Amino acid sequence: MRKRERENPCGICGHYHKYEEGEVCGVCGHRMPASSERSVEKGSAFPSEILKDFLYLGSYDNASRSELLKTMGISHILNTVPACQNLYKNSFTYHCLQDDKVLQFDDAIQFLEQCEKDKARVLVHCMSGKSRSAAIVVAFLMKSKGWHLAQSFQWVKEHRPQIELSSAVQQQLLEFEQHMLGSNGATPIQAFTQSESFPSFGFGFPKPPSSVPLPTFNQHATASIFERASPNDFPSDFTFGAGKTPE
């Protein structure tokens, strides 16, 4: 390796590889994200705070910035992608989900509950911080707050607008909600009011339409046109609707 290369380590993982050229790091496996994810990660060096001084949601890029995480007081990391390397095992307490297809909600929630009990700040991350990690955070809110899926999703979306749950992840969350609440989902949504709307992300939670009162006719008030006029009162050439435009 040439001297110039040794003097310019990767700004993300700190190891020596040609990050800008897309070369995968031989030490930790770090690589430049796909073009569809690059703009999001460049514009968001900080993870998103979901619950104050406790729960944070972010990307693998966020999890790779050890000094930043230490500055934020984060000491625990929940890695939801088995393929992502746990870069700083001597500096942080890691917990990694082992299945790359089925999200292990109970396992993840147990770890987060222990972090909360220990008053530790924890980062939950996947590769882009948009789907798998977001789903884990949504599930944790459902379990810890007793919220429905729609409410939990809206909370996370408000704190991290770029999240985009895949269809597979959405289905797993729906099944998790049914498991928690039963088939009828009888637990009320505590924090929603009639003036608030559900997020439009395809889970099928439409807001009930408000009732429109029917007009009332007061017989003691001024008579309506229906009371004053009879069919013979209208001109013979009268038509309802817009008239013919004169040529």
pLDDT at residue 30 greater than cutoff 60: yes
Share of residues in the chain with pLDDT > 70 (%): 59
Instruction: Indicate the domain borders of the chain.
Output: 1-32, 51-181
Q: What is the pLDDT of residue 27?
A: 73
pLDDT at residue 75 greater than cutoff 50: yes
Q: What is the pLDDT of residue 128?
A: 94
Q: What is the pLDDT of residues 161-191, one digit of tens each?
A: 999 999 999 999 999 999 988 755 544 333 3
Q: Is 206 helix (H, G, I), strand (E, B) or coil?
A: coil
Confidence tier at 23 by pLDDT (50, 70, 90) = confident
* The 74-79 sheet, strands edge to edge: 48-51, 55-58, 121-125, 74-79, 93-96
pLDDT at residue 217 greater than cutoff 70: no
pTM of the model: 0.61
Fold of 51-181: Protein-Tyrosine Phosphatase; Chain A (3.90.190)
103, 82 contact by CB (below 8 A): no
DSSP assignment letter at 89? T
Active centre residues (catalytic)? 126
Q: What is the pLDDT of residue 52?
A: 96
Q: What is the pLDDT of residues 78-119, one digit of tens each?
A: 999 999 999 999 999 999 999 999 999 999 999 999 999 999
- As a whole number of angstroms, the distance between CA 240 and CA 123 comes to 66
Confidence tier at 19 by pLDDT (50, 70, 90) = low
Q: Is 122 helix (H, G, I), strand (E, B) or coil?
A: strand
